[in-house]
Structure 1
Amino acid sequence: MSGKLHIGRMVRRELHSSRAAASATTAGAASGLLLWMALETALSAAGQPAVVARPLDAGRWLADTAASAAPSLLTAAGAGLGLGGLLLLMLAVAPGRRPRHALGSSRAAVVADHEVIAAAMSRAARRQAGLAPDQVSTTVGSRSVSVTIQPTSGIPVDADAVKAAVDGELATYALRRRMRSSVRVTTRGALGQ
């Protein structure tokens, strides 16, 4: 296996969540139901009393319940089962991205959490604007970085210079996914620095 392919697989593994827990839970529930049905069928064939309910009796009870239940209750039960199935389908098909980004490196697999990138963007914005740490907050999404600045009262902040500093910092990471940045300067200033 080539080095680039190996690095690519490691990065993908870090960026996407595992489906093992959902798969194991679903398989365990289905196996438990099938084992219970097999046990009840074997007990019924041997003429022994049922542990919970005989499968034929459970089927008759379910049919009688469906015939005598209110339509709104059946609709709610069907909607619940449908939502459960849709959830399982989404778990199987959706990419399941973690809040992380792959940084460009040809020699190693480098992955950073959103919090790490947000801290670095806040630091770059703080340095450019000459502000205290609590005056800058950053939010990182899958394709965007949003910096919010609360300037010191009476001292203006050049939003374009801060945006350039943030873009420069983003460019040094060579992120595999292109991200757009935005800088917002609040109208309400902070007292002191």
Structure 2
Amino acid sequence: MTSAVLKRVVRRETHSPRTVSTVIVLALVVVAAIYVGVEIVLHLLGVGPLLVAPGAALTWLQELPDQHQGLVVAGGLLAAVAGVVLVWFALGAGRRPKHELGSSSYAVLVDNGVIASSVAERVRRELDLSKGAVVVGVGHRSADITVRPAPGQPVDRRHVRAVAESELAGYELSPRVKVRARVLRAADGEAMS
């Protein structure tokens, strides 16, 4: 496969499509268009409307600003919120919890949970901590590491961060991940510096 094809595959696998929101918006538009079309056809045939005759609806909309200013403001705010939500859906990243490994000539994608598990295991082994003493969460651009050492076991936050950065550097993740480390006291759960 060419590099362009691999990049496209990686992009499709790391970003979620907007299919559901698109289908919902299009379904609403289609239903509204069908309703308006049915009302217009019924009006042209001289049959009573299903809900509101097109002429009556237009007259009501024309008189609305004069009689019910609160409804106009509420409708405008509702339309603005709907517009902001739709723009957010359209422009938002929609990232899936995966990263691309750069250490291979193939397209290799790894779930963030797998990366977190391997980093936690490396930190745990390197610092000789008990199982469950290291909790790692990996996001799109950051990895949060929380260490709870046994009472009396000294652990340096900078060393935890260095071990985690070393492990992550070996994966050559794309996009890069910034490491944040915390060391908690075993008794009261407060962060130590």
Aligned-residue offset at 1:11: 0.6
Higher RCO, Cα 8 Å, sep 6+: 1
CA RMSD of aligned residues (A): 1.9
Read off the aligned partner of 1:145 and give its amino acid letter.
A
1:153 deviates by: 0.4
1:147-166, Cα deviation, whole Å (9 max, x unpaired): 11111001111333322221
Q: How far apart are the structure 2 equivalents of 1:130 and 1:27?
A: 56
Q: Distance in 1 between matches of 2:18 and 2:31?
A: 20
Partner SS state of residue 162, structure 2: helix
Question: Of 136, 145, 162, which aligns to 2:143?
Answer: 145
In the alignment, is residue 183 of structure 1 matched against residue 181 of structure 2?
A: yes
Segment of structure 1 superposing worse, 17-26 or 73-82: 73-82
Structure-1 residue corresponding to 2:12: 13
SS in 1 for 2:110: strand
**Partner-residue secondary structure (3-state), 1:138:** strand
Asked whether the equivalents of residues 14 and 98 of structure 2 are also in contact (C-alpha less than 8 Å), the reply is yes
Structure 1 alignment gaps of length 5 or more: none
State the partner residue of 1:24: 23
One-letter code of the match for 1:57?
Answer: A
User: Which segments of 5 or more consecutive residues in structure 2 lack a partner in the other structure?
Assistant: 189-193
Residue in structure 1 matching 2:110, options 89, 109, 112: 112
> Structure 1 residue 114: deviation in Å?
2.0
Q: Is the 8 A contact 1:101 1:175 kept in 2?
A: yes
> Which residue of the partner structure matches residue 37 of structure 2?
38
Query: Aligned to 2:75, which of 77, 88, 93?
Result: 77
Q: How many equivalent residue pairs?
A: 188
CA contact (8 A) 1:128 1:161 kept: no
Note if contact 1:129-1:158 (Cα within 8 Å) is conserved in structure 2: no
Residue number in structure 1 paired with 2:67: 68
CA–CA distance in structure 1, aligned partners of residues 131 and 77 of structure 2? 49
CA deviations 1:124-173 (Å, max 9, x no partner) are 11111222232211122221111111110011113333222211210121
Which of 162, 167, 186 is matched with 1:164 structurally?
Answer: 162
- State the TM-score, normalizing by the size of structure 2: 0.87
Whole-Å separation in 1 of the counterparts to 2:135 and 2:92: 30
Deviation of the 1:82 alpha carbon: 0.5
